[in-house]
Amino acid sequence: MTGDPREVAPIGEHPMWLPDAATAHLRGRTVAVRGAGRLLETVRGEASRAGMVFEEAGGDGADLVIEATTDAATAPEGFEVSRAGGATRVRATTDSGALYGWFHVVRLGATAFDDTLPTARHEPQHAMRMLDHWDNVDVHPVMGQVERGYAGGSIFFADGRLRDDLSRVERYARLLASIGINRVGLNNVNVHAREARLLTDGLGIVARLADVYRPWGIRVHLSASFAAPITVGGLATADPLDPDVIEWWADAAARVYREIPDFGGFVVKADSEGQPGPFAYGRDHADGANVLARALAPHDGIVHWRAFVYNHRQDWRDRSTDRARAAYDHFTPLDGRFHENVVLQVKHGPMDFQVREPVSPVIPAMRETAVALELQVTQEYTGQQRHAVYLAPWWREILDFPPFGDGGPSLAETVRGGIVAVSNVGDDPFWTGHPLAQANLYAYGRLAWDAGLDPGAILDEWIALTFGDDEDVRRGIRSVLDDSWLTYEAYTAPLGVGFMVTPGSHYGPSVDGYEYSPWGTYHFADRDGVGVDRTVAAGTGFAGQYPSPWRETYESLETVPDELLLFFHHVPYEHVLRNGKTVIQHIYDTHIDGADAVDRKVAEWDELEGRVPADVFARGRDLLAEQQRSAREWRDHVCTYFWRKSGVPDAGDRVIP
């Protein structure tokens, strides 16, 4: 490793959205970078890499002027771009704002130097824009090197230790800075024995990675085990109210900050899916989070405490117990008890990153607690980067959701703890497995910065940076990705019911795979109907956890959105949707139409041969062939299952295997 953040990618590694061509409009132009700060040195390095010529003696005549000054009057990470006197100017209050302004100029392309460029201020909607990596130092016997990772091994770890060569991590940090990410969690939230030691004798690993991220304005966070006082500290207990435990966490935090003064904080998954937590000691999650928060507070550190807490040993016969209710029931009574530096990290839906589920009611309920919205860029339940599924339209729908009704704030405006997502990156040559999955990583960063951006415009931006300005390529990739999320939904689990995946791997159809399991992921299909009754009147009462008007909307069959029908109601197969189709006919039609849509996407991709790089085309062709096979498998399994279950034939008289 050279330590030079401008090091170019080796042959065979795809540059994602920052190929040299992305800065071609800057080559040979003059630049002046004014001010002091570590990140301004990064900007200077980027300008040099782009082939710009530095202006001396103030640089008043430069084509591009980037300046960090307290006179800029922007938010700490914001910047203003203007055009006057033949120069494009980026002014920011801080060096981080200047760095983000530089990448904005890269995104603008040649229009950055158009005299019609309007003056505009750009400021992040959320101060915390984070990616969590579920990477393991040791390869886990079940979950592998990267839990729920579909792009090879870890870019951080190999052979049970930190990689010697971290140059790829440097290039990754550059890519993340270009889309506004400012925090990274380094390891799996399911903290195993080896990873628990990152907090103690493995701290040098964390420090080395922090050194790599620092020039790009990114602070690192560490997933910590709640049981660390026992497993690595040698104490007899991890009781959060025990004085020795309190002292141990304070000492551990102080030790971290001596090594890494800008360390971000801890991410904790507790009392969840077998992970240890405060319940073992008769304590609640405010007690558990606050002991870490007190340890971190003197150092300006944050605890991300995950709200993914539920009973994973449920009796499937018990229809009163509802996994969807669990986070609300556990956490809302604690609202107002968490310390100020606790961020409650809440998955966007009440279940687990399904292709369709309602927004979690925990988010609007926690009025006195900082809440971070958690998304999943890695495609655990959306095709695992073997299917081309562009998730930004789904995320935008989530971010736009008004939890208190029309006219009230959007979800993006409601969360006060920022946005977090699980990364989709690995050591695959294309970083994300599927070349088109890069668009999801790019879009996440852009929406975390500004939730009001249009997913189609973001996609165009990514295509232009990655592939250039070939209009045929733009149209071809748009045709594959534009409706890809809805296409995936069409040929998988219908009407919000969720899951129906192969247990363990979560890939491919298994309609009853989890139906009689203890995981609480049921569809309750029988000979008469399908769906989960979550009404207050007759079901689990989950609908009542929402504020008005949503509790009434979801409670009633007359008003519940069709796309969430089976999440909230158990209905007969002959129940008629708003489009005039019965539920059973909808299941047949969407699965057949969805598989047909994938056939068209395969043909659309084939038209791009010779217009995109050969390696990109080949990988895309192979994965689209797998998507085509899988979509047909989903179609056949789901249609056959519900035909046999209901006895109702397809009105179109099509052959159902």
Q: Which residues are catalytic?
A: 273, 352, 380
Q: What is the C-alpha separation between 507 and 530, in angstroms, rounded? A: 22
> Taking a C-beta distance cutoff of 8 angstroms, is the pair 260, 207 a contact?
yes
Nearest to 618 by CA among 601, 606, 633: 606
Token readout for 73 is 């009057």
Question: Cβ–Cβ contacts within 10 Å for residue 511, how many?
Answer: 19
Nearest to 494 by CA among 645, 603, 277, 622: 645
Q: How far is CA 456 from CA 400, 465, 606, in A?
A: 15, 14, 22
Token readout for 167 is 């140059």
- Please provide the DSSP assignment of 219-274 as one string: EEEEE--TTHHHHTT--S---TT-HHHHHHHHHHHHHHHHH-TT--EEEE--SSTT
Report CA dihedral (431, 434, 440, 443) to the nearest 10 degrees. 70
DSSP bridge pairs for 30: 53
Looking at 344-400, list the stretches that DSSP marks H as alpha helix, in order from N- to C-terminal side. 362-365, 392-400
Token readout for 611 is 């217009």
- Beta strands 183-185; 265-268: pairing state: unpaired
Spatial neighbors of 484 by CB under 8 A, at least 6 apart, are: 387, 388, 389, 390, 601
Strand spans (E) along 283-433:
302-306, 342-347, 370-376, 419-422
Spatial neighbors of 364 by CB under 8 A, at least 6 apart, are: 403, 404, 414, 546, 547
Cis peptide bond N-terminal to 278, omega within 30:
no
| Angle, CA of 252, 256 and 258, to the nearest 5° | 115
- Beta strands 64-68; 183-185: pairing state: unpaired
- Tally the C-alpha atoms within 13 A of residue 589's C-alpha that lie toward its C-beta: 11
Q: What is the C-alpha separation between 504 and 507, in angstroms, rounded? A: 8
Nearest to 266 by CA among 220, 224, 208: 224
